[in-house]
Chains A and B, each alone.
Chain A
Amino acid sequence: MIDHIQALHLAAGVFLLTAVGALWRRQLPAKVRLLVVQGVALAAMIGIIGAQRADLELLAVALGLGVLRAGVMPALIRRALVPLPQEQRETRPVVDVATSLLAAALLTLLAYAVTRPLVALDPTPITAVLPVAVAVVLIGFFTLTTRRRALSQMVGFLLLDNGITATAFLAAGGIPLVVEVGVSFDVLLIVLVLQMLTRRLRATVGTTDLNELRELRD
Chain B
Amino acid sequence: MPTTLLLFAPIGLPLLAAVSQATGGGRRWSTAVGVATSVLLLTAAAALATEVTRSGPVEAAGGLLSADALSGWMLLVVGAVALLVFASGDRHGVRRNSRWYPIQLHLFIAAMATAVLAGNLGVLWVAVEATTIVTAFLVGHHRTRTALEAAWKYVVLCSVAIALALLGTILLYYAARHAGLSGISALDWSQLAAHAGELDPAVTRIAVGLAVLGFGAKAGLVPLHAWLPDAHSQAPAPISALMSGVLLSVALYAVLRVKLVADAALGPAYLRTLLLILALATLAVAAVLLLTQRDYKRLLAYSSMEHMGLMALGVAVGTKVAIAAVLLHIAGHGLAKTVAFLSSGHLLHQEGTSQIAQVRGLLSRAPVLGGVFGVATLALLGLPPSALFASELGLARALAADGLGWVLVVAFGLVLVAFAAIGTRTAGMLLGGPAAPVVPVDAEAPALVGAGVTAAPAGGAGSTVPAPRPRASESPSPARPARVDLPRTAAIPLVIGLIVVAVLGVTTWPLTDLLTAAATVAGGGS
Contact = CB atoms under 8 A, between A and B. Distances in A.
Chains A and B come from one and the same complex = yes
A204 B145 CA distance: 7
A178 B156 contact: no
A161 interface: yes
Given A121-B175, A168-B170, A172-B174, A194 B163 contact: no
B416 interface: no
Interface residues of A, number: 45
B8 interface: no
Nearest to A141: B160
Given A122-B178, A215-B145, A153 B156 contact: yes
Interface in A178-218: 178-179, 182-183, 185-186, 189-190, 193-194, 196-197, 200-201, 204-205, 210, 213-218
A114 B171 CA distance: 13
B1 interface: no
**Max chain A C-beta neighbours (<10 A), residue from B133, B174, B175, B464:** B174
Nearest to A182: B126
Size category of the B interface is: 35 or more
A38 interface: no
Contact of B129 (A114, A153, A186): A186
A43 interface: no
Interface in A54-97: none
A150 B461 CA distance: 22
A5 B451 CA distance: 64
B187 A179 contact: yes
B167 A197 contact: no
B175 A182 contact: no
Given A176-B122, A179-B125, A118 B171 contact: yes
Contact of A215 (B137, B203, B464): B464
A157 interface: yes
A103 interface: no
Contacts of B122: 175-176, 178-179, 182-183
A194 B170 contact: no
Contacts of A171: 170-171, 174
Given A118-B203, A216-B230, A200 B458 contact: no
B223 to A, nearest CB: 12
Contacts of A179: 120, 122-123, 125-126, 184, 187
A153 to B, nearest CB: 6
A143 B430 CA distance: 46
Contacts of B144: 204
Contacts of A183: 122, 125-126, 129, 166
A117 B233 CA distance: 42
B206 A204 contact: no
Nearest to A117: B202
Given A141-B160, A182-B123, A217 B461 contact: yes
Contacts of B458: 215
Contact of A172 (B132, B173, B229): B173
Given A121-B202, A144-B156, A204-B148, A175 B167 contact: no
B455 interface: yes
Interface in B156-195: 156, 159-160, 163, 166-167, 169-171, 173-175, 177-178, 183-184, 186-187
B184 A178 contact: yes
A2 interface: no
Contacts of A1: none
Nearest to B186: A176
Nearest to A137: B167
A160 B272 CA distance: 28
Contact of B156 (A120, A157, A185, A200): A157
A204 B143 CA distance: 7
A118 B150 contact: no
Contacts of A197: 136, 140, 148, 151-152, 155
A164 B169 CA distance: 10
Contacts of A108: none
Interface in B431-480: 455, 458-459, 461, 464
Contact of B152 (A117, A120, A210): A210
A141 B156 CA distance: 11
Nearest to B132: A190
A67 B132 CA distance: 25
Interface in B223-269: 229-230, 233-234
B298 A218 contact: yes
A68 B513 CA distance: 49
Contact of A186 (B130, B174, B178, B233): B130
B202 A205 contact: no
B489 interface: no
B228 to A, nearest CB: 11
A100 interface: no
A189 B133 contact: yes
Contact of A216 (B64, B149, B170, B186): B149
A167 B170 contact: yes
A53 to B, nearest CB: 14
A203 to B, nearest CB: 8
B126 A218 contact: no
B178 A216 contact: no
A190 B128 CA distance: 13
> Among the interface residues A121, A150, A190, A218, which one has the most CB atoms of the partner chain B within 10 A?
A218
A106 B459 CA distance: 40
B170 A164 contact: yes
Nearest to B289: A218
Most A CB contacts (10 A, CB to CB) among B150, B166, B200, B461 go to B166
B292 interface: yes
Contact of B173 (A175, A193, A201, A215): A175
A150 B152 CA distance: 9
B516 interface: no
B426 interface: no
6 contacts: A118-B203, A172-B177, A178-B122, A183-B126, A216-B153, A216-B230
Given A122-B174, A201-B148, A218-B461, 7 more contacts: A153-B156, A172-B173, A175-B187, A179-B122, A190-B132, A193-B136, A215-B146
